[in-house]
Structure 1
Amino acid sequence: MQRAVDTVLAVTKESVKTFTYESLHNIVRLINGVSALLLSILPGKASILEGIHGWELRPTFRGPRLPRWMENGVSSFNQFIHEFSVDSDTSSSVDYSSDGEDCDIYPPSPLSQSSRFSRESSFTKQNRSWIWWIGCIISWALFPVKLLFALPLYIINSALPSSNAPRSSGNNPSVAQSPRRLQSLKDHFVQRATDRRHGVVEDLHLAIEFSIESAFDYVHKVAHSILSPADTLGSVCRWFLSKLSFQNDIPSEDFVSSCPTTVLSDKDPAPSERKSSFNLNTDARTCQDVITELGYPYEAIRVVTTDGYVLLLERIPRRDSRKVVYLQHGILDSSMGWVSNGVVGSPAFAAYDQGYDVFLGNLRGLVSREHIDKNISSRQYWNYSINEHGTQDIPAMVEKIHDIKISELKSNQSDPEEESNNDQPYKLCAICHSLGGAAILIYAITRRIEEKPHRLSRMILLSPAGFHHDSTVVFTVSEFLFFLLAPLLAPILPAFYIPTRFFRMLLNKLARDFHNLPAVGGLVQTLMSYVVGGDSSNWVGVLGLPHYNMNDMPGVAFRVALHLAQMKRSKKFAMFDYGSPAANMEVYGSPEPLDLGEYYSLIDIPVDLVAGRKDRVIKPSMVRNHYKLMKDAGVEVSFSEFEYAHLDFTFSHCEELLSYVMSRLLLVGPPSKQMQRPKSVKGKRKDLQVKTGK
């Protein structure tokens, strides 16, 4: 009778699974089909989707060719990786792309070719550890159930069919005999930055499976208890004795045998790790994880601004180097953008391989809200404009860099009077993108007005913000609506960001689904491009990057958005307008905010301006406006254009752009023994002190 009941339950369970799986798949196909239909009738989709699918190509197993600027000066680590990958390609004719279907099911994140290589290698490892992935997804799916019903974790373990789990064999072939083994070895050296995300559809699939397994397991136990009363009575007695022995502190043999234990064996020598927290299967890697997994050194430096904000200054250190580069991200970005393209395609690694001491700045504006005041409110934290980026954040980080380099290079100074005479034994070059470019210009100009050293030797500005009046209709309408609604939004909306961890996690998971469903991803990409004026950057791919996670997702302060709108309306690169002549007089010493374009003559270092012909966020004409004003002011400035959209400057693997940036860095000569003191700024306002407005 028991066997008949088990058979009926098994057949019913598999039938329910098949029905629910097919229903879910049909719903997903319907959504993807409707998206494809909508995508086919949207205008201008060809130009928007052009060139963004490079991040979604199947992984290749040929190591990326070293760019020209890395042929002389590449680090020994990357040179070994390059030679190793090329040798393995020439020594084996095996077609590694045989798992093409798997690649379509699990498309990669927008990283470099070597990163895509690594992810394909790591995906084969998932076949050997799929139970771990299922457990993680089930943990996330049952998180609300745990909160509501206090569901024990051991139910999850009991529901997993461990008997069918594939185990690693002890008789694996050698590296020379197994291409898979060689692939695993290459993955060990190249990169461990794998895509750990699971989409909402995948989570639903596993949640449904676990729910069905749990329900039928419960029914099976009930049926077994009814059909086998003797066994049920024995189980109840053993449970009662175990409870009694536990209360009397006398260990029971039956109780001890029922506890889950880990047994070591030759095939699986490592004990399983027991985790008490739920893994939500989102990719929450940090910049530190990416850097260290690629084999580079890393250092984290906490910097405190004068108004109490705690910033993270990250470093790929070359402590004895006198060539220093400081990279500053743009709006809704972080230091992750400078390393997201892997070993070959990232500016940070390129500069390090050229012998530079690399510093990665992070502006204020993360949802983690780090501040010396632990009780700071959301409104107080987000009460800043672009002014504070240029007069608080960047000065704090540059001065910290200066203190670090002076301390590290102090032993090389033979003359003790050099330090007292403002000697700077290093050269500091800044590479900034978008909003970071506007902030570094504010920093350089205000430091000169205040007669303080800015310590920079060169600025390379990639599509810098500042001028925005030549923009698309979408931005013009947004500016009009923003000024119209600003009086109503300002008291209730301190910043534009996703306030809860759940919805930030949901966005990260949806980005995965956008990759799995090409039509849905294309539709979202097209709609997002419309919002930003038709820019063809891979907006969907960027949403899947690790720094858009539930912990430290960037946000935009209301005053930063208002400051950008003010620049667009005034057609000037000006500092923040506080709304009244009296307020401006208190901050700037004049009834009008400081027009930075009029002070370009104070820039005493070379500036390289780079624009993107496909950039619709900051058009080339606006970057050219910077160039014209600097040229008229006598600044040593250059201007270049590339066939890139706005995000391509940081998130795409652009060898031509990296070659240009590296060539500009090499123009910075060796540090002089004695640097000049800042010249007096005659005829300019010397008493400028930009306040935080708090």
Structure 2
Amino acid sequence: MENGVSSFNQFVHDFSMDSDNSSLEYSSEDDDSEIYSDGLEYPPTPGSQSSRTSEAGITKFSRHQKDWIRFILLSILFPLKLLVWIPVNLFRLVYYGVLKAMSFTTNKRPPHLRAHKRVLSLKDHIIHRATDRRRGVVEDLHLGIELSIEAVFDVVHKAAHLLLSPSEAFGALVRLFSSHESAVKGDHDGEEDASIYTDTLGENDPKPKERTVKYQPLNTDARTCQDVITDLGYPYEAIRVITSDGYILLLERIPRRDSRKAVYLQHGVLDSSMGWVSNGIVGSPAFAAYDQGYDVFLGNFRGLVSREHVNKNISSRQYWRYSINEHGTEDIPAMIEKIHEVKTAELRLTKPDIEEETDDDQPYKLCAICHSLGGAAVLMYVITRRIEGKPHRLSRLVLLSPAGFHEDSNMVFSVAELLLVLLAPVLSLLVPAFYIPTRFFRMLVNKLARDLHNLPAVGGLVQTLMSYVVGGDSSNWVGVLGLPHYNMNDMPGVAFRVALHLSQMKRTGKFIMFDYGSTSANMEVYGSPVPLDLGERYELIDIPVNLVAGQKDKVIRPSMVKRHYKLMKGAGVDVSYNEFEYAHLDFTFSHHEELLSFVMSCLLLVDPNPKHQVNQRGVRSRRKGQVANSG
């Protein structure tokens, strides 16, 4: 629609005007209009023309013959016009319909008009940057139907016009092919690039920097963790980490290079670093830690569908051949050693006398905040590093609903565990991992999540069904599907061995490492016929641990977290236990000031410079002694 008039009404109006214009050809040059009693001048009508013709008599008869001959010729040429019109306009209908639905530039306009429209699109993009910018499937269908109706009426209108003027049909055909060539040149794989100026905090030279933003033609929210961090004005750094078995991990950072306090945040299953920043400035643990003066590191486990590996030709089956063991003994060690390398080099550069203020080779304090599977992996990391006699470099653990003990799971998880254990020999060959393999289906899931937000009744139904599947957990499952890291370009997956490992923990009722299924395989890896029971080695944990459970958490129930607490307490670990009225996903994807305050208070318990404080106390005591002696 344009200016409140539908395309159909516009067609009727234009068609009537074309008819009036054609009737003007029958009139003489001297009688171009009629003057009525109201003094206004009107164009002649077919009725008035016929009356004049009848009055003219014989002088007009020859003109009638010419008109009839012209009418007969047009009738004969009509099939030819129709054959020309059908392919041309069908091509235009498909071309312009797809172009309107899939790109920002719906009309072919001169370059300066396209540039102006691009600026307007950029302005709207920036205004709605912090909101959900996706369209759902229902919205796409609605938009497609509207565009199709508009295109049909536009074709009918232009077809009628071209039938009355064949010369313009030929000109339109020439313009169509010429405009198509120019459109192909200006198109870049369905995406438009635009440069915007951004600024970040904490940089020595805070000048706006030009950054290229790619628009997604399918209207899917494909923002990364970097986009969220920089758009909110925080500094960002990406660090590539390569594990000893060749996996390439992304360690993301909100840097405070001169800070001696660092925090490492590790996500859980089917998640990424996006979970720690998804609530914005106010409700995200990563931003809260940075605002408290911490150098923030966001870890990412292996397991994205992009399959980053040093071996570019690695097969899907080879890539997904890992369990929780690799998360705890490969991923976390590689990332923490990289953190140690970076922090040590930066602090020695910015503070040359830093070694005199510390007792060991670690001039900073590193705490870890881990959720769900990340909690189980970091416990495995600490224990195995102590067994190997290597430093784990951590000062405190804050574990939010950590995995490890699952004997108290609901019926759905029990059935899944039974099927995985019984069918493991077959499923391991057929299903290397649980993930969405193609971009199309990932895009479809992304758009369906948007539809669930726009249709509260359907979204509520799906939310209820998901809650029942996981035993009544009230997490915002529909909202989590709408997060940007569940997009068409990349998406977290779960290796089959990770799921099987969790099933083994539930079946045995113990926090064990992966059972390879045979005595010889276990002997080769662990030196014993059975896998290592981590719960029996909690006495090796030599740092404080803060355990947090959710009263509404039905995925990892409070009883499972209490099992960790009892074993740690019995092993003499400095451990605390707290419960909050949260569900499983509320620890990362929901804004809870109470939880943030508790986590920050745990971090503040770690003194980044204990030796310096001891020296300061000694100086103060000596000063007091000198004052007393002088008195």
Question: How far has the Cα of 1:229 moved from its partner?
Answer: 2.2
Cα distance between partner residues in 2 of 1:232 and 1:342: 56
Change (3 A) 1:208 1:583: same
Matches within 5 A, 1:2-81: 10=11
One of 421, 427, 444 as aligned partner of 1:506: 444
2:522 paired with 1:589: no
Question: How far has the Cα of 1:320 moved from its partner?
Answer: 0.2
The answer for the alignment partner of 2:137 in structure 1 is 200
The answer for the alignment partner of 2:427 in structure 1 is 489
Cα distance between partner residues in 2 of 1:632 and 1:325: 28
The answer for the alignment partner of 2:319 in structure 1 is 381
SS of equivalent residue, structure 2 residue 506: helix
2:409 paired with 1:471: yes
Q: Any conservation in 1 of the 2:290–2:296 contact (CA below 8 Å)?
A: yes
One of 286, 306, 313 as aligned partner of 2:244: 306
One of 218, 223, 229 as aligned partner of 2:155: 218
Q: Any conservation in 1 of the 2:355–2:363 contact (CA below 8 Å)?
A: no
> Quick one: which amino acid aligns to residue 380 of structure 1?
Q
Question: How far has the Cα of 1:230 moved from its partner?
Answer: 3.6
Cα distance between partner residues in 2 of 1:459 and 1:490: 34
SS of equivalent residue, structure 1 residue 490: helix
Question: How far has the Cα of 1:158 moved from its partner?
Answer: 8.8
Q: Any conservation in 2 of the 1:159–1:214 contact (CA below 8 Å)?
A: no
Change (3 A) 1:281 1:12: farther
Which deviations, in whole Å up to 9, do the C-alpha atoms of 1:393-424 show, x marking residues without a partner?
000000000000000011324387999x8511
Which deviations, in whole Å up to 9, do the C-alpha atoms of 1:611-632 show, x marking residues without a partner?
0011000000110000001011
The answer for the alignment partner of 1:346 in structure 2 is 284
Change (3 A) 1:671 1:552: farther
One of 475, 484, 488 as aligned partner of 1:546: 484
Matches within 5 A, 1:673-684: none
The answer for the alignment partner of 1:110 in structure 2 is none
> Quick one: which amino acid aligns to residue 199 of structure 1?
G
Matches within 5 A, 1:190-269: 192-233=129-170
Cα RMSD of the aligned pairs, angstroms, is 3.5
Cα distance between partner residues in 2 of 1:633 and 1:611: 20
Change (3 A) 1:237 1:399: closer
Which deviations, in whole Å up to 9, do the C-alpha atoms of 1:74-129 show, x marking residues without a partner?
xxxxxxxxxxxxxxxxxxxxxxxxxxxxxxxxxxxxxxxxxxxxxxxxxxxxxxxx
Change (3 A) 1:468 1:153: closer
> Quick one: which amino acid aligns to residue 417 of structure 2?
E
Q: Any conservation in 2 of the 1:423–1:673 contact (CA below 8 Å)?
A: no
Change (3 A) 1:159 1:369: closer
Which deviations, in whole Å up to 9, do the C-alpha atoms of 1:514-570 show, x marking residues without a partner?
111111001101111122121110000100011111112111000000000000000
SS of equivalent residue, structure 1 residue 414: helix
Give the unaligned 5+ runs of structure 1: 1-5, 14-144, 169-183, 244-254, 262-269, 675-694
Question: How far has the Cα of 1:487 moved from its partner?
Answer: 2.2
2:383 paired with 1:445: yes
The answer for the alignment partner of 2:40 in structure 1 is none
**What is the TM-score with the length of structure 2 in the denominator?**
0.72
Q: Any conservation in 1 of the 2:97–2:147 contact (CA below 8 Å)?
A: no
The answer for the alignment partner of 1:104 in structure 2 is none
Give the unaligned 5+ runs of structure 2: 1-6, 15-89, 117-122, 188-195, 197-211, 613-631
> Quick one: which amino acid aligns to residue 521 of structure 1?
G
Cα distance between partner residues in 2 of 1:303 and 1:296: 22
Cα distance between partner residues in 2 of 1:339 and 1:627: 28
Question: How far has the Cα of 1:150 moved from its partner?
Answer: 7.7
Change (3 A) 1:150 1:220: closer
Q: Larger radius of gyration, structure 1 or 2? A: 2
* Length, aligned pairs only: 492
Which deviations, in whole Å up to 9, do the C-alpha atoms of 1:317-365 show, x marking residues without a partner?
0000000000000000000100111111010000001000000000001
Change (3 A) 1:276 1:517: closer
> Quick one: which amino acid aligns to residue 536 of structure 1?
S
> Quick one: which amino acid aligns to residue 353 of structure 2?
S
Matches within 5 A, 1:615-634: 615-634=553-572
Q: Any conservation in 2 of the 1:425–1:673 contact (CA below 8 Å)?
A: no
Cα distance between partner residues in 2 of 1:349 and 1:238: 55
Change (3 A) 1:260 1:433: closer
Greater Cα shift, 387-396 or 528-537:
528-537
Question: How far has the Cα of 1:153 moved from its partner?
Answer: 7.1
The answer for the alignment partner of 2:353 in structure 1 is 414
Matches within 5 A, 1:511-550: 511-550=449-488
Cα distance between partner residues in 1 of 2:172 and 2:439: 43
Cα distance between partner residues in 2 of 1:12 and 1:649: 61
Cα distance between partner residues in 2 of 1:619 and 1:276: 42
One of 429, 434, 443 as aligned partner of 2:367: 429
